[in-house]
A and B are shown apart, each in its own frame.
Chain A
Amino acid sequence: MLAAAIVVIVELAVQIAGIQSGQARDEPAVSLASQSMACRASVRRSAIAAAEGNHFAACAECGIAALRPASSEACGQEERSCGEKSTHPQRNHRQNRLFPKAMDDHRTGALFALMAMLPLLSACEDVPVAPHDAQPEAIKRGRLAAGQLGCGACHKIPGIWPEGATGPDLTNLAERGVIAGSLPNRPAELTAYLLDPPATVPGTAMPKVPMTRQQAEDIAAFLHQPDAH
């Protein structure tokens, strides 16, 4: 009983100390699970390659190729984590109009995919995946900058208040194929978009929010992180 009381008192003191130094906002931890990052990197790589016009892109992590047509409509479709390996052939079946039948069998699919992947490995390597190399420091700065600039006034961004609805929900932005309906979802393009949206995507509804290049890069790194679900 005495122990319980002491616990309460200590807790109270800690809380008060917290209030004093102004730690009222809790900062939700950004999940940095490297596993899922690597996986998403490859998924996104394939999306980017598709947006670039490559006919095939490989999910190197799983060793299973994600064969995708290069139409932008396909790359805008929902992305899946390649952690669920078994969904790959199925997705290929759904999305690949070239070889629908061959993909029905998982094994055939995998084999076919590996074959298709071989000549394309180099193309896959060319695609930069910088956000995933981003320093945790940059991600932290990015989250702070996004809050400071009030991006939440128009977007729902995990860990940032408020949760505005004028612009799209930016949860899991990394898994999106294109940004603002037209740009490949890569760090350089995202940074350029953030710095001056109307100049990058004419007619976009996102206003130019004054920020430095460093802030834009940090925010891009932050937004490209997989969100803790």
Chain B
Amino acid sequence: MPTETQLKAVLGGWPPAVLNPAGPYSEPVTLLAWALLIGGTVVLAIVLAALAVALWGAPSLRRRLGGDRAIWIGGIAFPVVVLTALLVWGLWLTGDLAAKAPRPGEMRVRITGEMWWWRVAYLDESGRTVIRDANELHVPVGSTVLLELDSADVIHSFWVPRLAGKMNMIPGRRNLLRIQADQPGTFGGQCAEYCGGPHALMGFAVVAHTPESFDRWRASRLAARPASVTSRGQELFMASGCAACHTIAGTQAAGLAGPDLTHVGSRRTLGAGILPNNRGTLAGWIADSQTIKPGNRMPNYKQLDARELNALADYLAGLK
């Protein structure tokens, strides 16, 4: 359906489709899910058929159903064989999904779950942060990316269904997850472990680029920011207290309580994956994020008048 596709394109693939893999680390999960579902349906059908025979079947059939042999075969041998086969197959299929250590030259990104958004840090070989961002991950198509997942507060779960299975984010632990996208596009994610309040509105977007376009993206992020001319919007940003919670590189704003806004104008989404990003939604978010995402940790700014709100939105939209 084109409409649905367009909607997903705009919202960064959120809410994500769950049974539509786009990479080698989600295909086995999807295959296993289908196998379990279909297998479970077949077993249910067999049980129901047996029940029907027991209730309404001919006496000879019912006698055979009630005998020892049926119990040995249907009640013991069948489950043992089927479940053992499933276990072996499942382990074989998903065994190499568990990431253990970075491979040489592999791209590494640390993603930290926060209530209710995601802090993103691109690391170099030695594990130092080189690019800071939030709520969005950029990856090149066709290469594996190692995600180091942790949490700043409670347990979250990182889940981009089209690229990988779920992985918990546990405070004080570093869980590794490997992903790879086989086609360019935007893939939606969602926190999959209830973390309080607006947990359901804790979305994420992975943007997969062709290798050339990824290199361009990376170079633009690494390039030093040209000193920006001070605008009314920037003044308002500093004067309204936004800088206490948000960082904008190249300005005095260095707060860490909220998402990094250095490149907020180029994000696909706002409010952690839930809104399209434009001047309107920026203004709407700043004025009244509590109606849009009830309970989130950014206060409403109802005291800003229309002109101030628009100046702020213009400033942020310009932070590409």
Contact surface of A with B, Cβ cutoff 8 Å: 1-2, 5, 9, 12-13, 16, 19-25, 140, 144, 147-151, 153-154, 162-167, 198, 203-210
Contacts and interface: CB of A to CB of B under 8 A. Distances in A.
Given A9-B44, A149-B276, A208-B279, A144 B287 contact: no
Describe A's contact surface by its main secondary structure: loop
A87 to B, nearest CB: 35
Contacts of A22: 4, 8, 17, 20
B175 interface: no
Contacts of B6: 144, 148
B283 interface: yes
B306 A204 contact: yes
B45 interface: yes
A20 B279 contact: no
A15 to B, nearest CB: 11
B312 to A, nearest CB: 10
Contacts of B219: none
Given A22-B8, A148-B7, A2 B52 contact: yes
Of A2, A148, A153, A209, most buried by chain B (CB within 10 Å of CB) is A153
Interface of B: 1, 3-4, 6-8, 10-11, 15, 17-20, 37, 41, 44-45, 48, 51-52, 55, 270, 274-281, 283-285, 287-288, 291-293, 305-306, 309-310, 313
A19 B19 CA distance: 7
A20 B19 contact: yes
B98 to A, nearest CB: 25
Nearest to A211: B278
B45 A165 contact: no
A147 B7 contact: yes
Of A149, A162, A204, most buried by chain B (CB within 10 Å of CB) is A162
A165 B281 contact: no
Nearest to B41: A9
A210 B276 contact: no
Describe B's contact surface by its main secondary structure: helix
A164 B274 CA distance: 13
Of A5, A150, A209, most buried by chain B (CB within 10 Å of CB) is A150
Contacts of A205: 305-306, 309
A16 B19 CA distance: 9
29 contacts: A1-B52, A1-B55, A12-B41, A19-B19, A20-B20, A21-B1, A21-B20, A25-B15, A149-B276, A150-B277, A151-B280, A153-B281, A153-B285, A153-B292, A154-B280, A154-B284, A162-B274, A162-B293, A164-B292, A166-B287, A203-B306, A204-B306, A205-B309, A206-B280, A207-B309, A208-B280, A208-B310, A209-B278, A210-B279
Contact of A150 (B19, B45, B278): B278
A16 B38 CA distance: 11
Nearest to B45: A9
Nearest to B188: A22
Nearest to A210: B278
Contacts of B48: 2, 5
A8 to B, nearest CB: 9
